[in-house]
Structure 1
Amino acid sequence: MIGLAMQLGSLRQLTVVSFILVLVPLLMLLTYSQFTLSKMGRIANSEAEYSVAVVRRLSKMEGLSVDIERLFKQYNVLHNVALKNLAEKSIERFVELQVLVCSELSEKQSCNHLSERLEWLELYAGDQDQLLLDAQLAEFKVNLADLSDQIESMLDLRILAQQDYVNSVLQIQVWLTIILVGISLLLIIFGTRIILRPVEKLEMVIRAISKQESDLPSISKSGPKELIVLEHKLHQLAARLVQLENLRHALLRHASHELKTPLASIKEGCSLLSEQVVGQLNPQQAEVVSLLNISTERLNLLIVQLLDYNLLLQQAKPVFELIDTQRLFKDFITDNSLAIQQNNNVLELNIDIETIFADAHLIRRILDNLLSNALAHGSKGRPISLHLYSQQDVQILEVANRGQRVPLEMRQSLFQPFSRGNSKRNDRVVGSGLGLSIVADCARMMHGKAEIIDIEQADFCVRVTIPTNGESI
């Protein structure tokens, strides 16, 4: 069947041939059942006809025996030759039936006794003693009764033999049904496997494309032509996606690099103007220079976030490891202490687990971006809460702050790239809209998710959920 599947060029042909092969054992079973049922019907009819014929002959013999007995008793009294002739004719008819009945018996003893009695009666001349005639007729009746019993036993044996045959046929039918149905099930399994194998190959290709693997499964050389064509298209799509991804990375790298060079010159010029190295500035000029400084800082922030986002996208697979939470948050607070002090915020840590199973770089990116978002949009001087705990088979990080609440209809969109909310930033810098997007992408890379939730002690809270086993939730 596998060789046949390799020769078939169409998925439709493969499906039709598989169904036909599965139906062959069932058709064989149906044909055998019909043949056996017909044969058993013929045997039953034949046995019924045979039994009726034998019983009918035996019944006629019993009737003739009564006539023979009556005629010989009358002849013994009247000595009428006509009665003798009638008796002989009855004996002839009796003998004809006896020959037919006795031919069916293997044991001929009763038939022989009957023949002896008939021979004696044929030679009877009417001059013997009445008692001797009565004895011969009584013996004749006994022999006929024995023949009747023997015929009845023979018919019983034939019925038992027929029942044994029916039982044997039923047993063969049961075993044949089990075997042929089992063969059909095996053919169904093999046919399903052959049909699904190209589909599983397509799934492998799609999974490899989704995971951005560089080596895709090789294109099948045999199988349904429709699926092989689809494999070719998927490989072309994968090549196109790789090309677009490379172009995007190159664009981000070159754009960021090319922007940094003139930006450094602009920042240097603005710094010289602000320090009035090239001459005294009037108030209007000083205000313009201040606006230029703010714009250059915003542009620099956008370039840094673009580079960070590009670096995140280039990371193909997370590297899971057990991370000491005390050391993680100690380094995190040390690196961000200056930003926390500038807004007079207090960082409240609530760490319930000693270790977290995650990618160290990705979890640190999540913490940095969530803190940056809380500092930029939260209320100044109000505490920022970080809560890390585990629940069942997931690890949960919640970062909450006071500030402006986000409407339900806007929450999901905030995790999209370059999407910004309506709240004003504390640093008067227009954000790029990549912070929460980076958080969501980092969580997704670790098979988790990020969402905005409502809690009583804060106005804005982001919950990041990461599975403890590194598998999808």
Structure 2
Amino acid sequence: MQLGSLRQLTLGSFVLALVPLIALLWQSQNDLAKVGRMTSVETRFVVSAVGLMQQLDSATIDLERSLRQYSVIKNETVAELTDNAIQQFNDAKLALCERLNQFGACQKLAQHIQQLENFRTINDQLLLNAYLASLNASVVQLRSDVDQAIQQRLAIQKDDLTAMQAKQAWLTAMLVSVSLLLILLGTQLIVNPVKKLKQIIRILAQQQGQLPPLSTQAPRELIGVEKDLHWLADRLKQLEHIRTALLRHAAHELKTPLASIKEGCSLLSDQVVGEMNASQMEILSLLMSSTQRLNTLVEKLLDYNLLLQQAQPTFIFASPRQLVSECLEDYALALQDREVTVDIMVEKIRVDEELYRRILDNLVSNAVAHGAPGRPINMRIYLDQEMAILDVANRGKRIAKDKAANLFEPFIRGDEPRNDNVIGTGLGLSIVSDCARLMHGDVEVVDVDYADVCFRVRIPQKEML
């Protein structure tokens, strides 16, 4: 399943991650509206209950005053005022009781009112006081019921708000987690193909392993880049095969006529075909010298071709002292008039012995060929930040910085003449660079205070993944 373009995947992932957040916002708005409605209803209830209770208190005071006035002034006008006060008290009581839906205290008040409605027949002042005291006690009880009802409503409202907050917190945690999961999923759909591209590039750079198959679940742009990298890998394989074949065939074809020329020179030198004069011997000497130089060029070419075919180094813990000693023994004749200073500060290094030996051979050969005659050559091997460092330095003409990088390209030679009068191939430093690269290291020209030219090779000592 192809995921579409990278832009579509990014926008789709963004929109999909916003869906839970939009749902959370919608639920929060609903809860906020519910809280607003609840607060409005409870506020109206409290205001209404308190107002009705105040009306009942006022009606109670008016009723008690009217009854006491009638007990003193018994006329019809005061009696009508008393009847009106009783009616107002009943109305206030009914409104409050309907609001509270409580009938215990209201029934007691109804009984007391029935007793007081016969106020015309009550002549005993003590009996009237008893009736009024019972009425006031029932009103006080009703006031307590009103307070209790308000507190119960507030407690219910508080419980509802607590439950709503818990629900909101749980919903927020859940929806935010869903959004994060969707974001991670969308990110992973982009990161995985990018990681695969990095893997392909690493394989191409190290020239090791097979490329993974083309992705099927990735954005179109990244699949296109992956196809281009696969094409590039095939093209590099073709070019590498052509280059290796060219070098192999060229070296082989040069060996055959070179052997014939050397054999002919040997026959002429032994004067098998007849005696030669001094001029002919001089020409033969030049011919043999040229043949030897050509043989050196062919051997360098074969060495470079062999290096190109070695794709996987074998790392072991080798002794740098032994490798340097063997190298200097092979170059003993060339180093007769040179003092070689060797400074080895590590007993074991993790390298491929054959590749490291080629590095030593070519750097020493380069120092002999291009260093000032009779001047010392310095060699140092040490560790620096989990890197095995090899420094080979000589005295002579300094290398310009703009030319230093090109020295490690194949068939690139320096402008200065060699001390051994041998025409260089331009492959020595290239072989050094390729050997270091195969061991995941590098080589560069560095400035040091004790020599004019210094080549530094760095080989990592950690195992590469």
The reply to whether TM is greater than 0.5 is yes
CA separation of 1:456/1:9 partners in 2, compared to 1, >3 Å: closer, same or farther? closer
Which residue in the other structure is 1:389 paired with? 382
Which residue in the other structure is 2:445 paired with? 452
- Quick one: distance in 2 between partners of 1:260 and 1:392? 45
Matches within 5 A, 1:61-460: 61-105=56-100, 108-125=103-120, 127-213=122-208, 215-269=210-264, 280=276, 292-341=287-336, 344-460=337-453
Q: CA deviation at 1:179?
A: 1.8
Cα RMSD of the aligned pairs, angstroms, is: 2.6
Letter in 2 for 1:15: T
CA separation of 1:313/1:189 partners in 2, compared to 1, >3 Å: closer, same or farther? same
- Quick one: distance in 1 between partners of 2:151 and 2:238? 90
Asked whether the equivalents of residues 367 and 377 of structure 2 are also in contact (C-alpha less than 8 Å), the reply is yes
Which residue in the other structure is 1:461 paired with? 454
- Quick one: distance in 1 between partners of 2:87 and 2:438? 109
Asked whether the equivalents of residues 377 and 394 of structure 2 are also in contact (C-alpha less than 8 Å), the reply is yes
Asked whether the equivalents of residues 75 and 126 of structure 1 are also in contact (C-alpha less than 8 Å), the reply is no
- The answer to which of 160-169 and 108-117 deviates more is 108-117
Asked whether the equivalents of residues 2 and 220 of structure 2 are also in contact (C-alpha less than 8 Å), the reply is no
Letter in 2 for 1:467: P
Q: CA deviation at 1:273?
A: 6.3
- Quick one: distance in 1 between partners of 2:270 and 2:411? 35
Question: SS where residue 103 of structure 1 aligns?
Answer: helix
Q: CA deviation at 1:378?
A: 1.4
Q: CA deviation at 1:124?
A: 1.1
Asked whether the equivalents of residues 76 and 126 of structure 1 are also in contact (C-alpha less than 8 Å), the reply is no
* Percentage identity across paired residues of the two chains: 47
Letter in 1 for 2:305: N
Q: CA deviation at 1:362?
A: 0.8
Asked whether the equivalents of residues 122 and 128 of structure 2 are also in contact (C-alpha less than 8 Å), the reply is no
Letter in 2 for 1:27: I
Q: CA deviation at 1:215?
A: 2.4
- Quick one: distance in 2 between partners of 1:459 and 1:27? 70
Question: SS where residue 388 of structure 2 aligns?
Answer: strand
- Quick one: distance in 2 between partners of 1:181 and 1:72? 70
- Quick one: distance in 1 between partners of 2:402 and 2:14? 52
Asked whether the equivalents of residues 324 and 360 of structure 2 are also in contact (C-alpha less than 8 Å), the reply is no
- Quick one: distance in 1 between partners of 2:323 and 2:278? 49
**Structure 1 residues not aligned, in runs of 5+:** 1-5
Question: SS where residue 322 of structure 1 aligns?
Answer: strand
Letter in 1 for 2:406: S
Q: CA deviation at 1:306?
A: 2.4
Which residue in the other structure is 1:3 paired with? none
CA separation of 1:289/1:71 partners in 2, compared to 1, >3 Å: closer, same or farther? same
Asked whether the equivalents of residues 393 and 454 of structure 2 are also in contact (C-alpha less than 8 Å), the reply is yes
CA separation of 1:296/1:92 partners in 2, compared to 1, >3 Å: closer, same or farther? farther
Asked whether the equivalents of residues 294 and 429 of structure 1 are also in contact (C-alpha less than 8 Å), the reply is no
Matches within 5 A, 1:25-36: 25-36=20-31
Size of the aligned set, in residue pairs, is: 464
Letter in 1 for 2:192: R
User: TM-score, normalising length from structure 1?
Assistant: 0.89
Asked whether the equivalents of residues 272 and 278 of structure 1 are also in contact (C-alpha less than 8 Å), the reply is no
Letter in 2 for 1:351: I
Residue-by-residue CA offset, 1:236-266 (whole Å, 9 max, x unaligned): 2211211111111111111222223333444
CA separation of 1:346/1:468 partners in 2, compared to 1, >3 Å: closer, same or farther? same
Residue-by-residue CA offset, 1:87-125 (whole Å, 9 max, x unaligned): 323322322331232235465432233222211121111
**Structure 2 residues not aligned, in runs of 5+:** none
- The answer to which of 33-42 and 201-210 deviates more is 201-210
Q: CA deviation at 1:337?
A: 2.4
- Quick one: distance in 2 between partners of 1:310 and 1:105? 104
CA separation of 1:225/1:463 partners in 2, compared to 1, >3 Å: closer, same or farther? closer
Letter in 1 for 2:223: I
Question: SS where residue 339 of structure 1 aligns?
Answer: coil
Q: CA deviation at 1:432?
A: 2.1
Asked whether the equivalents of residues 54 and 101 of structure 1 are also in contact (C-alpha less than 8 Å), the reply is yes
Asked whether the equivalents of residues 323 and 358 of structure 1 are also in contact (C-alpha less than 8 Å), the reply is yes
- Quick one: distance in 2 between partners of 1:392 and 1:219? 38
